């Protein structure tokens, strides 16, 4: 090992930092390329990262912010455990309450990295598995009422040693999944990924020397902390409040009983000098369905929202976490008691991001967009086909909120999710399903000086003997809010056989076990997003362009924007 100084020069720090990020990205490439399931290999519903010996996040690939909570939580759980850590060990868990996870389909794997017998860091990844058991295929329905209904719960266990894979945990997962062959392939892909991370992190230490690498990572963490502190000093001191509602409980075709109100998510963001504290007092109690958010998921969401608004260029590591204080009432939807169900926690995380952004809009109005679709419209089709049982999971994109100077983006993932759509060609090749329609929804973006981004309509036809449909989604009744006079975006919905005899809208967004027959069509409509600024101030030429491109209807052009009225500016 090279004997270098413990205080590397700035160029060496940047070289080491770039090397760590490159390793994390290559870990992600290995995981995706080696996986069996479309959810990982096509949709990239996975993340990879490196941690230092103290469990601090030092590098992550550009994946999903929500996954950072699970990986950080896993390292914390491992450090707090009584498990002996030895060279060659690999650990596995998915437990939201005792293993640092956030929901059961996310299997998290970590490999401690040793150089010359010294623990120098951790190589970790997380992957959303298409089925991990539970009461419904896909293990991801939003209407489960207990964690025990949601799938196999894996404590922190040793998955491999220097002598090879521990067959018992692998067999246990296979036995409890409807897709055992796929589970084996995806777990082995995760193992290959953390091994690549270990091998390449060792090479960085041998190239530069362990003391130099430690010093460089400490500098990178400190740099992130200083950038957050500098960004916070630009925010006026004070306490900023915001709240929003989850959808009400589903009791009928309209998604809720008359007068019913969903759970409130409330936050007070207090900025004082170079510190920030978020208090979720006033947030409603934990839910009876699977939309509860455990602590690692809450933290990951808060870190994302602060970074996005205060300084998006802060290096993606754990250096700024210590400057952020988070309190949440025990027994609330953002800090539930075990065994509250959590599988659809991302819908609530999206609302947490919304309220943090909404609070910061009062302090930094030029930086915060209107509300995006801010849900995870997660759908699952499952059933038998000629190759055996299948599970098709998908997250359907929606509208991105209008910004202070620009329209919102159409058909995008937002906030704590960052997965791809499943290409139609891959979907139709692997599953007995056909996509009849895949298009933007006109008028789904809130009107404004800058229009909200549009949601998506996706019609999926069942080709086989039948299928079962489950889903979780929010913003089915509550609408994405506009800012500064901008209008709200449209809600989402699920419809069986649209435009045909027997058409019916499914109640709300927390659904399981809907039976579909051959040739049935399931329509998914994702929410749009809020507009920014008064619609009357929108450039008429932009209104005409939206009309020509089918983003708005003639009725909206006339009624919301005044196109064609005598008072229209610049009217010919």
570: confidence class by pLDDT, cuts 50, 70, 90: very low
CA distance 268 to 327: 10
572, pLDDT greater than 60: no
For residue range 114-145, list pLDDT tens digits in order.
999 999 999 999 999 999 999 999 999 899 99
Average pLDDT over residues 85-100: 95
Residue with more model confidence, 250 or 442? 442
Furthest-apart CA atoms within the chain: distance in Å: 81
Contact between residue 399 and residue 527 where contact means Cβ atoms under 8 Å apart: yes
Residue-wise over 284-310: b if at least 16 C-beta within 10 A, else e? bebbebbbbbbbbbbbbbbbbbbbbbb
Give the model's pLDDT for residue 565: 65
* Residue 272: other Cβ atoms inside 10 A: 12
Element (DSSP H or E) covering residue 184: helix 180-208
Distances (CA, A) of 38 to 103, 303, 398, 419, 516: 19, 29, 21, 12, 22
Number of H helices, E strands in the chain: 11, 20
CA distance 173 to 187: 9
| Nearest alpha carbon to residue 149 among 437, 406, 343 | 343
Give the model's pLDDT for residue 250: 62
| Cβ within 8 Å of residue 240, ≥6 positions away | 268, 269, 270, 271, 359, 360, 362, 363
Contact between residue 245 and residue 293 where contact means Cβ atoms under 8 Å apart: no
1, pLDDT greater than 60: no
Contact between residue 194 and residue 110 where contact means Cβ atoms under 8 Å apart: yes
For residue range 362-417, list pLDDT tens digits in order.
999 999 999 999 999 999 999 999 889 999 999 999 999 999 999 999 999 999 98
Strand order in the sheet with 504-505: 433-440, 456-462, 521-525, 493-496, 504-505
Structure tokens at 147: 């964690």
Residue with more model confidence, 323 or 515? 515
242: confidence class by pLDDT, cuts 50, 70, 90: very high
168, pLDDT greater than 50: yes
257, pLDDT greater than 70: no
Give the model's pLDDT for residue 66: 85
571: confidence class by pLDDT, cuts 50, 70, 90: very low
| Nearest alpha carbon to residue 442 among 552, 363, 520, 542 | 552
Average pLDDT over residues 514-529: 97
pTM score above 0.75: yes
Rounded to the nearest 10 degrees, how much is the dihedral formed by the CA atoms of 468, 471, 476, 482? -140
Distances (CA, A) of 23 to 49, 58, 123, 286, 361: 8, 11, 10, 39, 36
CA distance 482 to 243: 14
For residue 339, cis peptide bond before it (omega within 30 degrees of 0): yes
Percentage, residues of the chain above pLDDT 90: 87
| Nearest alpha carbon to residue 524 among 462, 442, 460, 433 | 460
5, pLDDT greater than 70: no
Residue-wise over 222-237: b if at least 16 C-beta within 10 A, else e? ebbbebbeebbeebee
Give the model's pLDDT for residue 62: 76
Give the model's pLDDT for residue 253: 36
For residue range 319-350, list pLDDT tens digits in order.
988 889 999 999 999 999 999 999 999 999 99
* Residue 82: other Cβ atoms inside 10 A: 4
Phi, psi of 399 (to 5 degrees): -80, 145
Phi-psi region of 319 (alpha: psi -120 to 50; beta: other; left: phi over 0): alpha
Residue with more model confidence, 465 or 518? 518
| Nearest alpha carbon to residue 33 among 148, 193, 169, 249 | 193
Contact between residue 53 and residue 120 where contact means Cβ atoms under 8 Å apart: yes
For residue range 194-236, list pLDDT tens digits in order.
999 999 999 999 999 999 999 999 999 999 999 999 999 999 9
Query: Mean pLDDT across the chain, nearest whole number?
Result: 93
């Amino acid at each position: 090992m090279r004997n270098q100084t413990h205080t590397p020069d700035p160029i060496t720090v940047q070289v080491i930092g770039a090397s760590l990020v490159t390793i994390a990205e290559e870990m992600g490439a290995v995981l995706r390329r080696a996986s069996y399931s479309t959810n990982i290999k096509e949709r990239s519903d996975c993340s990879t990262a490196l941690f230092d010996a103290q469990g601090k996040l030092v590098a992550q690939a550009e994946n999903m912010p929500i996954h950072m909570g699970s990986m950080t939580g896993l390292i914390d759980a491992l450090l707090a455990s009584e498990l002996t850590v030895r060279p060659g060990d690999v650990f596995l868990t998915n437990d939201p309450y005792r293993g640092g996870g956030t929901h059961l389909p996310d299997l998290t794997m970590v490999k401690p990295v040793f150089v010359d017998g010294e623990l120098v860091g951790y190589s970790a990844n997380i992957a959303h598995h298409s089925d991990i058991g539970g009461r419904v295929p896909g293990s991801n329905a939003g209407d489960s009422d207990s964690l025990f209904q949601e799938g196999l719960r894996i404590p922190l266990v040793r998955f491999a040693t220097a002598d090879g894979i521990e067959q018992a945990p692998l067999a246990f997962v296979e036995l409890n999944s409807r897709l055992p062959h796929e589970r084996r392939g995806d777990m082995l892909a995760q193992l290959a990924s953390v091994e690549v991370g270990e091998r390449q992190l060792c090479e960085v230490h041998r190239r530069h020397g362990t003391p130099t690498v430690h010093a460089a990572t400490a500098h990178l963490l400190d740099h992130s902390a200083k950038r957050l502190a500098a960004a916070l000093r630009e925010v006026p001191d004070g306490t900023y409040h915001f709240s929003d509602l989850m959808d009400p409980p589903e009791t009928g075709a309209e998604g809720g009983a008359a007068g019913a109100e969903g759970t409130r998510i409330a936050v007070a963001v207090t900025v004082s000098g170079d510190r920030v504290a978020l208090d979720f007092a006033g947030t409603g109690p934990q839910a009876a369905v699977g939309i509860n958010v455990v602590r690692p998921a809450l933290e990951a969401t808060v870190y994302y929202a602060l970074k996005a608004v205060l300084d998006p260029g802060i290096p993606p590591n754990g250096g700024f976490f210590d400057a952020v204080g988070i309190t949440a009432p025990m027994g609330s939807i953002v800090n539930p008691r075990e065994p509250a169900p959590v599988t659809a926690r991302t819908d609530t995380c999206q609302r947490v991001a919304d309220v943090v952004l909404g609070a910061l809009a009062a302090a930094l109005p030029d930086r915060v967009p209107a509300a995006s679709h801010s849900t995870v419209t997660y759908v699952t089709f499952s059933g038998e086909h000629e190759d055996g049982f299948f599970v098709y999971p998908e997250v359907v994109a929606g509208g991105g909120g209008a910004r202070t100077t620009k329209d919102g983006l159409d058909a995008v993932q937002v906030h704590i999710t960052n997965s791809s759509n499943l290409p139609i060609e891959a979907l139709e090749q692997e599953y007995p399903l056909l996509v009849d329609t895949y298009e933007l929804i006109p008028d789904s973006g809130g009107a404004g000086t800058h229009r909200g981004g549009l949601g998506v309509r996706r019609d999926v036809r069942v080709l086989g003997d039948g299928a079962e449909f489950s889903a979780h989604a929010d913003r089915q009744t509550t609408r994405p809010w506009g800012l500064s006079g901008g209008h709200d975006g449209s809600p989402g919905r699920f419809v069986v056989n649209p435009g045909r005899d027997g058409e019916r809208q499914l109640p709300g967004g927390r659904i399981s076990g809907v039976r579909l027959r051959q040739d049935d069509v399931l329509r998914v409509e994702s929410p749009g997003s809020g507009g920014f600024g008064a619609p009357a101030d929108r450039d008429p030429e932009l209104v005409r362009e939206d009309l020509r491109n089918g983003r708005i209807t003639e009725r909206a052009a006339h009624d919301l924007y005044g196109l064609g009225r005598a008072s229209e500016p610049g009217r010919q």
